[in-house]
Amino acid sequence: MSNFHLRGTGQEDHSLLNEDQVVVKKRLEHASRWRPRLTSCRCWTIAALLAAFWLTFFGLWLYFSYFRDAGGAAGSGAVGRNVKADLVVLPQDLADATGAYCLDGSPPSYYFRNASSEEHHNSWIIHLLGGAWCYNNSECARRSATDLGSSRMLSPKQLFGGILSANFTVNPDFYDWNVAVVNYCDGASFSGDREDPINYNNTKMYYRGSRVLDAVISYLLQSAGLQRADRVILSGASAGALAVYLHADRVSSMVPDDASFKAVADGGFFVPEADTSGGNRWENAMKDVYQMQQVEGSLDEDCLLAKGKNKWECFFAQYAYPYVTTPMFVINSAYDRLALKNILGVRCRPTECSKEELRVIGEHRRTFLQRTDQINRYNKDGMFLTSCYDHKQASSDYFWMTYKVAGRTTREAFADWYYERTTTAETRDVDCGSLTCNPTCRGNR
């Protein structure tokens, strides 16, 4: 038994144990040898489960952030998620009382989404939609049977992007604000002010865009909480941006006096100039709109007084802008696609233009920059002028987040100006010169 006392040393004498004792001892030793391995396996299993959980979570985050269509309750925007706005049509009796009608006589309307945070419960973006113009009674009659001339055929819900998005990832500075998007239904940049309706080929039409705008703002004040606003941004795109130049001060006079009020005009600085044939087709067409819809009554009185016999000029951004007292941020392209096509008559793709077409386009840019240079005279205002072959940049997620000038995106430039995070000089961004010089521009190919 002298060797039996060596337990734990690996030198025990098993000869002193019976068979059952030896079997039990070996099983115990076998188990003890595997215990560290079992512990190691458990650790790997836990790690694998955690990794699977993380991958599942990450996959769901990607799905909801970038691949899932928007949905959910109004005002519930969050990271990676946009939310549709609800259609609101003004009561017919209100339209009748104010004479505020779309082209077809239907009431004005807007899309609305509630603020999603308590912090911005009283912060508002009022956006004026665009959609070109109708230049004569025939065009307006056709337009009256579409959603650009009527509130009767609009979708009950609508999704909006860019500055109007409820997605924090896209729009971190304004995603949780109240948003009211005013539907464009008069064909004259919310400026028609004709008292008597028009009858054209058995179609009765109303040129009352100015009253439409007033009626919607009044309704928001009375019924939607705009009367408690502490911040208001009036924005507009294309024909709606022209309306911002024309009517920002009037809208400002309607909202609470103590509310901060600023405006942003996106793609509305259309310069009247000769087209490739030497004529002024677009300028003359807009004069026709001015006369047909009796726009004069809705325009700035100081501008009208200053222009004398040429009062129609006040219907163009470059002439209306100097009379706007509202702080204004101008977003525009010096190579605006619609301006090049519909005003100049140049329809080539940027990489396929002839030398003559490029000459005309280059001259247009010089004229455009001369007209917009007046923005530099007003310290309260800012601008973001790209060389992108596109039209409108603030209401598209891609353009809002991607287009850059001087290292800043459209979103960053506007937010820096709005929140006064930069100096006056830093809010005046003008892009490089050629039509294909900016690599962030999607359309310049």
Question: Is residue 250 exposed (0-12), middle (13-18) or buried (19+ Cβ within 10 Å)?
Answer: middle
Catalytic residue selected from 116, 151, 238, 396:
238
Nearest to 312 by CA among 286, 279, 342, 343: 286
Which among 239, 267, 271, 234 has a CA at the least distance from the CA of 253? 234
| CA torsion through residues 95, 101, 104, 106, sign | negative
Cα separation, 252 vs 258, whole angstroms: 11
The residues that bridge with 440 in the sheet, in sequence order, are none
- Amino acid symbol at 393: Q
Is 336 one of the catalytic residues?
yes
- 407 backbone φψ class: left, alpha, beta (φ>0; ψ -120 to 50): left
DSSP class of residue 318 equals H
Q: Of these residues, 300, 336, 381, 416, which one is catalytic?
A: 336
189 is catalytic: no
Q: Determine the Cα–Cα distance for residues 109 and 43; give it in Å rounded to an integer.
A: 62
Per-position DSSP letters for 157-168, written without gaps between them: EE---GGG---T
Instruction: Give the relative orientation of helices 239-254 and 209-223 as an angle to the nearest 10 degrees.
Output: 50
Beta strands in 114-230 (DSSP E): 123-128, 157-158, 178-182, 198-200, 203-205
Q: Among the options 391, 416, 429, 431, which is catalytic? A: 391
Tell me 250's DSSP state. Answer: H
- 259 backbone dihedrals φ, ψ, rounded to 5°: -85, 140
Summary count for the chain: helices (H), strands (E): 12, 14
Residue 336 half-sphere exposure, CB side, CA atoms within 13 Å? 26
Q: Which residues contact 342 (CB under 8 A, 6 or more apart)?
A: 282
Compute the distance between CA of residue 286 and CA of residue 280 in angstroms, rounded to an integer.
10
CA distance 298 to 207: 12
CA–CA distances in Å: residue 281 to residues 163, 247, 268, 274, 372? 33, 25, 18, 8, 22
What does each C-alpha distance from 123 to 24, 230, 284, 416 come to in angstroms? Answer: 78, 6, 40, 17
265 by Cβ neighbours in 10 Å (0-12 / 13-18 / 19+) ranks as: buried
Any catalytic annotation for residue 364?
A: no
Active site (catalytic) residues: 238, 336, 391
